[in-house]
Amino acid sequence: MANNNNTVKILFFGDLVGRPGRFAVRDYLSGKLKVESGKFQTAESGKLKVESFSTIDCQPLIFNFQLSTFNFIIANVENASHGFGLTEKNYNDLSEYGIDCMTSGNHIWDKKEIFNYINGAEKLIRPFNYPEDTQGQGSRVFELHDGTKIGVINALGRVFMSPVDSQWTVVAEEIKRLKDITPIVIMDFHAEATAEKVCFAKFCSELCVSAFFGTHTHVQTADEQIINNMAYITDAGFCGAKDGVIGMDYKTSVNRFTTVVPERYDVADGNVVQINAVEVEIDKVSGHAVSIRRIFELADKNKKEEENER
């Protein structure tokens, strides 16, 4: 999936959960992440090719690439600060790691300081289908060094979610507006129900969206594909501690389920972190997706620390 001058290559990270998620992405982008095992599946030019790798019986691999491999990097950050919301410090740190655009979801408002900086946060996007007077921007157009423009829009689903404006109307108009600016339009659809994601994705593909990434459920789906020239995955998954409950601590999670007594979730910790991400390649002129690749990788923090001590 090597990109050329006629295409733009985009890397999208699923929901970053707390410090484990932030640091896993930091190390991944710096090339320091030691991969223990994983699988990926590639859908390229309409033909599905399955590949896998494992380092269980051999030396760990080092994921080694330069940031220039990707023209544009997006991450969903609504859970980046201790699992709920995004602090300004973490926003600045993620920017320094090399993330070009940050999408979000219903938890973006959980840290009240968001209202102090969101209007000036040029990389951050909140869901578009909040009321018109909501602070922040629900879409943005980014320009690369070569002049290529990329439109990014974030939206919330309404099935099993708090009520917001209908994405079927307000978002459709915004997609059309962005398409008048650039052929490349990316959608992060933050939603609970798979059926809603699939249906809305097909709807967006008819509006010539280039790539559609589902987020929110934190479980990476194995259905990456190209629909009507649009790269699609139901959920990109999450980045964070593997040994928890979708990134959160098991004990607090089980207490909430068994006692039904409200207890604040805590972010899971552990030696093994996971990276869930998706790569897509898009034609600069047509805005059509050329290929999509799902990424699932694990890393042992202890092994990384041992290497650093040698």
> Would you say residue 25 has pLDDT above 90?
yes
- 82 catalytic residue (yes or no): no
The whole-number average pLDDT for the span 7-25 is 97
Per-residue confidence (pLDDT) for residue 244, from 0 to 100: 86
Per-residue confidence (pLDDT) for residue 215, from 0 to 100: 98
Amino acid at position 247, single letter: G
Selection from 231, 237, 278, 239 nearest residue 72 by Cα: 278
> Would you say residue 37 has pLDDT above 90?
no
Q: Give the active site residue among 82, 107, 216, 218.
A: 107
> Would you say residue 32 has pLDDT above 70?
no
Which CATH number does the domain 7-125+212-309 belong to among 1.10.3720.10, 3.40.50.150, 3.60.21.10, 3.40.50.720?
3.60.21.10
> Would you say residue 34 has pLDDT above 80?
no
> Would you say residue 274 has pLDDT above 50?
yes
pTM for the full predicted model? 0.86
Per-residue confidence (pLDDT) for residue 164, from 0 to 100: 95
Is 102 or 300 the better-scoring residue by pLDDT?
A: 102
Provide the b/e sequence for 223-236 (b: ≥16 CB within 10 Å). Answer: bbbbbebbbbbbbb
Length of the chain: 310
Is 63 or 116 the better-scoring residue by pLDDT?
A: 116
> Would you say residue 38 has pLDDT above 60?
no
Instruction: Give the β-pairing of 15-16 and 238-241.
Output: parallel
**Cβ atoms within 10 Å, residue 82:** 17
**Cβ atoms within 10 Å, residue 148:** 17
Distance CA 274, CA 208 (A): 32
Per-residue confidence (pLDDT) for residue 236, from 0 to 100: 98
Per-residue confidence (pLDDT) for residue 188, from 0 to 100: 98
> Would you say residue 64 has pLDDT above 80?
no
Is 310 or 269 the better-scoring residue by pLDDT?
A: 269
Contact 95, 121 (CB under 8 A): no
Amino acid at position 86, single letter: L
> Would you say residue 39 has pLDDT above 90?
no
Per-residue confidence (pLDDT) for residue 305, from 0 to 100: 53
Domain edges within the chain = 7-125+212-309
Digit-coded pLDDT (tens) for 191-236: 999 999 999 999 999 999 999 999 999 999 999 999 999 999 999 9
Is 65 or 95 the better-scoring residue by pLDDT?
A: 95
Digit-coded pLDDT (tens) for 88-138: 999 999 999 999 999 999 999 999 999 999 999 999 999 999 999 999 999
> Would you say residue 254 has pLDDT above 60?
yes
Digit-coded pLDDT (tens) for 134-178: 999 999 999 999 999 999 999 999 999 989 999 999 999 999 999
* Vertex 244: Cα angle to 106 and 98 (nearest 5): 60
> Would you say residue 33 has pLDDT above 80?
no
Contact 245, 269 (CB under 8 A): no
Is 48 or 306 the better-scoring residue by pLDDT?
A: 306
* Model confidence band, residue 50 (pLDDT cutoffs 50, 70, 90): very low
Alpha helices in 122-280 (DSSP H): 167-179, 194-206, 250-259
The whole-number average pLDDT for the span 82-90 is 96
Distance CA 161, CA 295 (A): 27
Per-residue confidence (pLDDT) for residue 48, from 0 to 100: 32
Distance CA 227, CA 235 (A): 15
